[in-house]
Structure 1
Amino acid sequence: MGRAMPRSRLRRVPVIRADQRLVLDVVGILGRQHVRATAGVFQGRAMDVAALPAKRSGPQAGRLVASGSGGQVMKTLGQSVNSQERQLEAAVRSIEGWQGRQVAYEPVSGGISNTNWRVEVEGADTAYFFKVPGVGTEMFIDRQTAHEASVKAAQTGYGAPVFAFLEAYGVEVFEFMEGWRASSNHDFLQRDIRHGALHGLKAFNDQPLLKQTKTVFDMIAEHQRQVAELNGVKPQDDDWLCLQYQRAKQALQASGIDLAPCMNDTLAGNFMLNAQRQIRLVDFEYASNNDRHYELALWFGEMFFSDEMELALIEDYFGHVSAQTIARIKLNKALADLKWSTWAMVQHAVSQLDFDFYKYGAWKHMRARSIINDSQWETWLRHA
């Protein structure tokens, strides 16, 4: 089932205990993307970046510096040596207000669908974050919708400040969030951070609908078509998984879909924290109108929250807890894993990034099975 990984890519992975469960640290499995599982949570697609530096002050503020936040020398325009750097430089040169200014850039680690960059511009009082589309991402990302969602998130006060959308390049540009860091799974064991993130999600979910509606059913169908077209890898029990997916889909559709703007990508690394423990949401590439129960289910699954934590979050979000709400979230947890496992098999076929999409997808398939095989699966189907 798929290509075997070279032995050189495999390393022993320790087992850690946190939040009453054993979780694999998958750094060695998933390559050099600094993916990790901490505090009991698998963080598969996260941007695992170190804390960002505090905003510069004094004589260097607003001026181009020779070395970047990581201490390495930044490149300037004209020094590109690969296609990714050339893509970035072309996008930077398209910004009219920057003509004639000195510009320097360096990569920001962590992206597995795109390349991310820190860009500093002579005379600017902030650095900028450029998100440059990766090869093949147009198969499942609508860049205009992503930009629309980023703007809506910024309007709630929970999003990153949007600087520009370079439509010809599909590149989103934000003010660089100095002093903020990507959250970790461990952060979400703290109640105030957990519920603060929930309030940020709800603020975005409560915005007016986006132009694009794309439910989890649409996403799974899209990825299934793509896997077939690419002759991609399917699990041996694909027929059984598809049958259970159809049963869950019918149960959820029978009682109606609660459409709302959704991130659809709620892993820990897409929640930023500052020293005051404030929350900002980033990365709306997969955003669309979707069922808000799916939004919560995906987030709960990414975080590995305990049942008690989930019940408290459900009550905070909806104002009450019902058997139907629990059932819909449980079913959507399985669908979320099926969606991302199938997405991973598409990426396994087309991506040029150094990330083991096959193992990530196999892990997601395995977790979907664990939910479907739960003794309450039939009960959730009835109550949804």
Structure 2
Amino acid sequence: MSWIRMGDGASDAEQALEAILTKVPRWAGADLRYCSVSGGISNTNWRVQVGAGGEDVASAGAGPESGKDVFLKVPGRGTEMFITREAAHEASRRAEACGFGVAVLDYLPESGVEIFAFMAEFRASSNLDFLRPVVRHNAVRALRAFNDAPRLSLTKTIFDMVDEHVRQVAEVGGRVPADQAFLMQRLGEARAALTASGLDLVPCMNDTLAGNFMIDGQDHVRLVDFEYASNNERAYELALWFDEMAFSAEVEREMIEDYWGRWDEQTAARTQVLKALGDLKWATWAMIQERVSTLDFDYYKYGTWKLRRARTLFHHPDWPLWLRLL
């Protein structure tokens, strides 16, 4: 890794980070250095060392993390359209309390930046890690623990999310799929069926891509990144995870049994419907990000891929059956 001393930042991203670091009172006068951390498609991520020079900076207000590494992210442009930072911070605290999150060291309300302990013994997982049953099982345990935690202050269902994104696409002049009317028809059908069956609203990460699961050498799992967290339909958490992992039908059944303690047609049907809605949600999000984000990421390609998978389920011959089973 390439460390940068505080004050030596050259790029816009580095200078934005340094502006935030100067606002942490406990680090006033501390020797700081930092380096970028890869991952994420909305923000820039950073590893910061407090007391990097090895001198005693505790008396200068560096806090208990003196001589240790911490992690923080700088919100990307436009993320305020999707993320309520106070709600994300509450969810981070909830995850820490349930035993599967990361220690939260500080929160800067004016910038919406959280400061976490840096877990040197953990690394971000990849889809390949989830080919191993033990990792999948430990991930399910972590998700279930967070879902079973006390409710959050913010409730935002999958329907709220898609509705919000559709409005935002129009506001920013984003691309609209040629079959938008059909996609909205399917959304309406799913909304009616799921609402009639009743929503089980619990804390959900709502962002279960592989990189948000950290694993160590013993395959212990910790959950990170709760920017999109809210109370949402419980079954959506697994459904979105299945979207991200591209599990086979056999593995999906295994994970449903692991999470719920059983497999049945109703739960399986609910999962299929919510998988389609999850891909629709993130495809619509990508249409907005294509217009507003400054990060070097192909949001159009990402959104196109998500829409293609959503259509596979929306056009599936069992779609009417899944809705009846809900």
Pairing 1:107–2:36 present: yes
Q: How does 1:283-302 map to 2 (within 5 A)?
A: 283-302=225-244
Determine if contact 2:39/2:211 at 8 Å carries over to the other structure. no
Looking at structure 2, the residues matched to 82 and 312 of structure 1 have their Cα atoms a distance apart, in angstroms, of 47
Aligned mates of 1:213, 1:274 — CA distance in 2: 32
* 372-381 vs 333-342, which moves further: 372-381
How many aligned residue pairs are there? 313
TM-score under structure 2 length normalisation? 0.94
Counterpart of 1:263 in structure 2 is 205
Deviations 1:14-70 (A, max 9, x none): xxxxxxxxxxxxxxxxxxxxxxxxxxxxxxxxxxxxxxxxxxxxxxxxxxxxxxxx2
Indicate the RMSD between aligned Cα atoms, in angstroms: 1.1
Deviations 1:195-230 (A, max 9, x none): 110000000000000000000000000000000111
Q: Which amino acid aligns with 1:271?
A: F
Q: Mind listing any 5+ residue stretches in structure 2 that lack a counterpart?
A: 57-65
1:87 correspondence with 2:16: yes
User: 1:187 — aligned with what?
Assistant: 129
CA distance in 2, matches of 1:184, 1:86: 30
Letter of the 1:157 partner, please give it. G
Deviations 1:137-175 (A, max 9, x none): 000001111111111111111111111111111111101
Q: What residue is the counterpart of 1:154 in the other structure? A: 96
Distance 2:261 2:38 in 1: 39
Residue 76 in structure 1 maps to residue 5 in structure 2:
yes
Matched residue, 1:238: 180
Q: 1:201 aligns with which of 133, 138, 143?
A: 143
Residue 60 of structure 2 is matched in structure 1 by none
Amino acid at match of 2:161: M
Indicate whether 1:254 and 2:183 are aligned.
no
**Structure 1 residue corresponding to 2:115, chosen from 149, 170, 173:** 173
Q: Which has the higher helix share?
A: 2
Given that residues 193 and 277 in structure 1 are in contact (C-alpha distance below 8 angstroms), is that contact kept between their aligned partners in structure 2?
yes
When structure 1 is superposed on structure 2, of 194-203 and 303-312 the one drifting more is 303-312
Which residue does the alignment assign to 1:57?
none
Structure 2 counterpart of 1:300, one-letter code: F
d(CA) in 2 for partners of 1:216 and 1:139? 16
Structure-2 separation of matches of 1:191 and 1:80: 43
Secondary structure in 1 matching 2:20: helix
CA contact 1:129–1:174 (8 Å) conserved in 2: yes
What percentage of residue pairs aligned between the two structures are identical?
Answer: 54
Higher mean C-alpha deviation, range 155-164 or range 328-337: 155-164
Name structure 1 gaps, 5 residues minimum.
1-69
Q: Deviations over 1:175-208 (max 9, x none)?
A: 1110211111111111111011000000000000
**2:84 matched to 1:142?**
yes
Q: Distance in 2 between matches of 1:372 and 1:95?
A: 48
2:101, 2:223 within 8 Å by CA — same for their partners in 1?
Answer: yes
TM-score (normalizing by structure 1): 0.80
Q: Deviation at 1:232? A: 0.9
Once the two structures are TM-superposed, the CA of residue 267 in structure 1 deviates from its matched residue by 0.8
Residue-by-residue CA offset, 1:81-119 (whole Å, 9 max, x unaligned): 233222211221122221111111111112220111111
> Any conservation in 2 of the 1:76–1:103 contact (CA below 8 Å)?
yes
* Residue aligning to 1:119: 48
